[in-house]
């Protein structure tokens, strides 16, 4: 919420289910956001963008003025 990213968390359950959802969304040209580590094979197969999160500091959880959204921690 603090980063103003419009998404709903859906737990896929398995890697196979998550990548089936990715493939489905990619084929439909629908937006999707996944959490994968780098290096990973998925960016080689699917074109997309990385979400760059701000560096972590304790202020992330205590000071709303620290981050990109002064309304939320």
pLDDT at 21: 94
Averaged pLDDT of the chain: 88
- Domain locations in the chain as residue ranges: 1-6+34-73
Note whether 34 and 12 are within 8 A (CB).
no
The mean pLDDT value for 9-26 works out to 93
Torsion sign across C-alpha atoms 22, 49, 33, 53: positive
| pLDDT tens per residue, range 56-71 | 888 888 887 887 788 8
């Amino acid at each position: 919420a603090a980063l103003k990213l419009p998404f709903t968390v859906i737990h896929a359950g398995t890697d196979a289910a998550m990548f089936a959802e990715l493939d489905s969304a990619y084929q439909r040209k629908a937006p999707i956001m996944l959490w994968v580590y780098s290096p990973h094979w998925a960016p080689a197969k699917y074109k997309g963008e990385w979400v760059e999160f701000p560096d972590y500091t304790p202020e992330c959880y205590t000071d709303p003025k620290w981050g990109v959204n002064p309304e939320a921690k």
